[in-house]
Structure 1
Amino acid sequence: MKIVNILVFSILVFCSLKTATSKELNIYSHRQPYLLQPFLDAYKNKTNIKLNVVYSSKGLAQRLASEGKNTPADLVLTVDIGRLYIYKDKDLLAKVNSKILNDNIPSHLRSKDGTWFGLSKRSRVIGIAKNEFLKGEVSTYEDLANPKFKGKVCSRPGSHVYNRALMASMIANNGYDKAFAWAKGLINNLAKRPQGNDRAQIKSIFSGECKIIIINHYYYGKLNYSDNDDHKKWANSIKIIFPNQSKNERGAHINISGGGVVKYSKRKKEAIKFLEFLVSEEAQKLYANVNYEYPINDKFERPMKLKKLGSFKEDKLYIEDIAKLAPKAQEIIDIVYW
């Protein structure tokens, strides 16, 4: 019965999207509902345009491809450049030329052909146990493979998109062979098998299971400002390190949340306007306040909660290269059993 109910719900959602008018937009979203809703509310209040959303963590690109010219979708919103690139690779996105998008999004965080656009930034950072290390002792991603940290590192599985993107960036910056050696060294330093999400890694330091972790920065923010006292204790047990910050270093690895206009959208102009809203000052503040994500452009002021993490230098690698290197990254991950 549960499966039947899900199928019926999906059919109803599909039918409702098919009837959308010019005063409506249909969005396929990989972002969780509670993260997206504040943006939908703000935009509706400004424009009175109704935003219909289908949420799913998997399968939306395949669905969009199967719908073809009959798709009701106007926009795709997702997290991680690897997921976003799938839509471009399948030729599912329209080419957009918007001065607002181009002026507000750095060139390395949007596609060269105008098919996809970064909308917010997240950094893959290192967390260390407080009072366990000398200043600068852990300062780069490469340090995670140093044999002196054997038995001290914890990580979620390497095949998760966040770690696969980091692995791809290691290949892009250091070459395949050095990236492979780094991954082997990392695995040799693990305190336990890769498991759990990023929150679980923070908890692992609190519980004493490990001393060094890899996480997306905003998970620290979520726990540090949580209403749950236990979560605050977990966050208080670690110190955040933005890696590779020295003068000749590349900077911390960056990933994005992003989006694009569907190739066969019937409301392309309206869809572009919504993307432009998402890079406005109002929306960029929402990204920071709702999920502790960094504005896509440094010209937008960061709220105090993000400022407290400190400023940092970010890797300016063209982010689509990370998506293109994802198969090679996964190859290494599989070989070393990350």
Structure 2
Amino acid sequence: MTPRLTAFAGLAAALALAACGQDSGAPADAETGGVVNVYSARHYDVDQKLYEMFTEASGISVNRIEGSAPQLIARMQSEGAASPADVFVAADAGALWRAQEAGLLSPVASDALTAAVPANLRDPEGRWYGFQRRARVVAFDQARVQPNEIATYEDIASPRFRGQLCVRSSDNVYNLSLVGALIEAWGPEKTAEWARGVVANLARQPEGGDRDQIRAVAAGVCQIALTNSYYYVRMAAGDDAGDRAVTETVKLAFPSLDGQGAHVNISGGGVTANAPNREAAIQFLEFLASPEAQTLVSQENGEYPANPGVTVPAPTATYAEFTAHPMSVAAYGPRQAEAQALMTAAGWR
């Protein structure tokens, strides 16, 4: 463990007590030990707890600017070399790849990050690292669907589910990354056939987010739906009684891609090319990779730790017994344009 990560060890108990603060778009107070400016496309309450604990451990203040990934990428491009951004954080490997392709991220050589983040969950050049995993899987009506009927991704597009599938739009980055992974595994012809099957199976035109798809299954609109696993976990363990009731009848299945496991994606981040506080930015990434940080996010947001050595906490542990496909998440981004064209041609709106 490096000296920087050593400073973060032993925070587990304190993490549970961290209070959730408010987002800030104003410059942070750097009197205690510096500042790191985080451009974040993640919008979860637990992230603010992480930032507060990083400041407590390091003395470095965190200034968070929020927006969608495209908005933040465009902002950094317009700011150019004068951008105050030190770290870019996004909830999909495809979004991180877009920042990489725009020349906005710089390689980081860190023994701590290399040790904590498996090779298939980070950029080979060190421009970004994944800190949490999420699986793109199937929510199903347990009264009408048997788990063995959705054992593979091919099953989602099979005639068995004609008019019985709910899914988000084709331009959603989670779907683009999934289809990019299918192209990587199957090639464009088989993936195009699969996309046509998806369109034939739609119960309605794509609309809403992943939780809307899960709720639609419970309402009888469809029998199956594509969703990221953590949305379901949050519904099952959350404070909303209606959502908890949904997960009493709707269950989660983890299809396999070519017998190697379920498709997984990441949330992660990288140091920007023009980071004015580069050392603080690297410390921040190393903190996000620490067992304490990964455990907190898994516990409160339903994501899985990227580090296989970190025990998955409750309530996420209930849904953690699955095999993850070993494909490198770095393969998704370069396939996204092809994925979008293929889905559009199939009629997936």
TM-score by length of 1: 0.91
Identify which of 285, 290, 305 aligns with 1:280: 290
The one-letter amino acid paired with 1:34 is: D
Distance in 1, Cα, partners of 2:94 & 2:147: 34
Seq. identity, %: 33
Deviation at 1:86, TM superposition (A): 1.3
Distance in 1, Cα, partners of 2:147 & 2:324: 20
Q: Is the 8 A contact 2:34 2:61 kept in 1?
A: yes
Deviation at 1:135, TM superposition (A): 4.4
Q: Give the total of aligned pairs.
A: 323
Distance in 2, Cα, partners of 1:267 & 1:122: 30
Q: Is the 8 A contact 1:205 1:237 kept in 2?
A: no
* 2:48 pairs with 1:48: no
Give the corresponding residue for 1:313.
323
SS in 1 for 2:332: helix
| Aligned counterparts, 1:245-256, within 5 A | 249-256=259-266
Deviation at 1:310, TM superposition (A): 4.2
* 2:124 pairs with 1:101: no
Q: Cα deviation per residue 1:93-152 (whole Å; 9 max; x = unaligned)?
A: 121100000011011111111111111100001111013233412211110111121111
Structure 1: which 5+ residue stretches go unaligned?
1-11
SS in 2 for 1:52: strand
Structure 1 residues 64 and 20: CA distance shift in structure 2, 3 A: farther
Deviation at 1:337, TM superposition (A): 2.2
Deviation at 1:297, TM superposition (A): 1.5
Deviation at 1:290, TM superposition (A): 2.1
Structure 2: which 5+ residue stretches go unaligned?
1-23
Task: Supply the RMSD in Å over aligned alpha carbons.
Answer: 1.7
Give the corresponding residue for 2:78.
66
Q: Cα deviation per residue 1:184-225 (whole Å; 9 max; x = unaligned)?
A: 011101111111111111111111111111100011111111
Q: Cα deviation per residue 1:51-93 (whole Å; 9 max; x = unaligned)?
A: 1111111421121122222111111111111111111111111
Identify which of 293, 304, 313 aligns with 1:294: 304
Moved over 3 A (4+): 19-22
Distance in 2, Cα, partners of 1:13 & 1:191: 41
Query: 132-141 or 226-235: which moved more?
Result: 132-141
Give the corresponding residue for 1:224.
236
* 2:276 pairs with 1:266: yes
Distance in 2, Cα, partners of 1:38 & 1:287: 9
Distance in 1, Cα, partners of 2:25 & 2:163: 49
Deviation at 1:269, TM superposition (A): 1.3
Give the corresponding residue for 1:334.
344
Distance in 2, Cα, partners of 1:241 & 1:33: 25
Deviation at 1:230, TM superposition (A): 0.8
Distance in 1, Cα, partners of 2:192 & 2:222: 23
Deviation at 1:13, TM superposition (A): 4.2
Structure 1 residues 135 and 220: CA distance shift in structure 2, 3 A: closer
TM-score by length of 2: 0.89
